[in-house]
Amino acid sequence: MRLHFGLGGKELMTLESIGKILHLSRERVRQIKEKALWRLRLARRRTKLEPLRIP
């Protein structure tokens, strides 16, 4: 995620260039990125619903 979106003041990178660094295919890097985004969205929903939870 950091490499793709340029977080931490670094330059944006393509999936292909990230794959070369990590020795993975571009498709595998894309799959990992999508799963990470899904997990972030899921965590965000959980925090919104937490106050509504019945103990």
The average pLDDT across 48-53 equals: 65
In the structure, what pLDDT confidence band is assigned to residue 55 with cuts at 50, 70 and 90? low
pLDDT over threshold 70, residue 6 = yes
- The arrangement of secondary structure in 2-50, i.e. its CATH architecture, is Orthogonal Bundle (1.10)
What burial letters (b/e) apply to 20-54, b meaning 16+ CB within 10 Å? eeeeeeeeebbebbeeeeeeeeeeeeeeeeeeeee
Average pLDDT over residues 7-11: 80
pLDDT of 22-37, one tens digit each? 999 999 999 999 998 8
Amino acid symbol at 6: G
Question: What residue ranges do the domains of the chain occupy?
Answer: 2-50
Q: What is the mean pLDDT of residues 5-16?
A: 85
User: pTM value?
Assistant: 0.69
